[in-house]
Chain A
């Protein structure tokens, strides 16, 4: 039994390079057959939004995403897992979040990335505030019930 994979979890203000993150997982290895990457970007909401301000809970953000990533490693045979979540002011078109999962076969990589994103949406301590182009108070983005429901489908019978 190989040593359990330790996922890489980073909470940072600065942008990330998707290609470099993928290369970081695959470089120098010949046992990975599938890499799935998901990037979440800031939308401009038909031109109305000038930026999103992402507030987070330092310490818990790393810990909670770490717990979710560790659960993914327990459920799927992964050979690499990287999760990056940005905070601070993010403009439309910029990256917010990245999940990269690597496995021998595609199904595990797809499912693990999907699982990570569903749980991240409803359990990672981040909050988005809108800044509007017209200068008006945009307010806090409301949590979507659909995101909570999406996370529930991963509940195993043992929980």
Chain B
């Protein structure tokens, strides 16, 4: 199953794309697993995700924490802490 990954702000700039569809390898169960796997995909990813604790994540457009299971997620977004308002 393909999962859509979406990036915003400096996460998007460092990775170098705003979205992509990926086939997640077996064993990627939680958000934390996903962040670890993404870091291994190249320099841009490594730079964007070098401090995974600061990365905020939404699954299907709802905030989740890094322990959340990602099974069945259609859309996973990664972004820095928000600065709206």
* List of A residues within 8 angstroms of B10 by Cβ: 140
Which size class do A's interface residues fall under? Answer: 20 to 34
Q: Does A85 contact B (CB under 8 A)?
A: yes
**Across the interface, do A128 and B79 meet the contact criterion of CB distance under 8 Å?**
no
Nearest CB in chain B to that of A62: its residue: B61
Q: How far is the CB of B78 from chain A (nearest CB, A)?
A: 11
Nearest CB in chain A to that of B84: its residue: A126
Q: Does B85 contact A (CB under 8 A)?
A: yes
Q: Does B37 contact A (CB under 8 A)?
A: no
Q: Number of B interface residues, CB 8 Å?
A: 16
**Across the interface, do B85 and A60 meet the contact criterion of CB distance under 8 Å?**
no
* List of A residues within 8 angstroms of B80 by Cβ: 127, 140, 143
The interface residues of chain A, by DSSP majority, are classed as mixed
* List of B residues within 8 angstroms of A34 by Cβ: none
Nearest CB in chain A to that of B81: its residue: A143
**Interface stretch (choices A21-29, A50-58, A74-82):** A50-58
**Across the interface, do B77 and A126 meet the contact criterion of CB distance under 8 Å?**
no
B85 interface neighbour in A55, A64, A126, A129, Cβ under 8 Å: A126
A-B contacts, 10 of them at CB < 8 A, read A40-B85, A54-B84, A63-B62, A97-B84, A117-B85, A123-B82, A124-B84, A125-B8, A126-B84, A127-B82
Contact surface of B with A, Cβ cutoff 8 Å: 6, 8-10, 58, 61-63, 77, 79-85
- Beyond the given pairs A57-B77, A120-B85, A126-B85, 4 more chain A to chain B contacts, judged by CB atoms under 8 angstroms and listed by A's residue number, are A54-B84, A56-B84, A59-B61, A85-B84
Contact surface of A with B, Cβ cutoff 8 Å: 40, 54-57, 59-60, 63-64, 85, 96-97, 117, 120-129, 140-143, 147-148
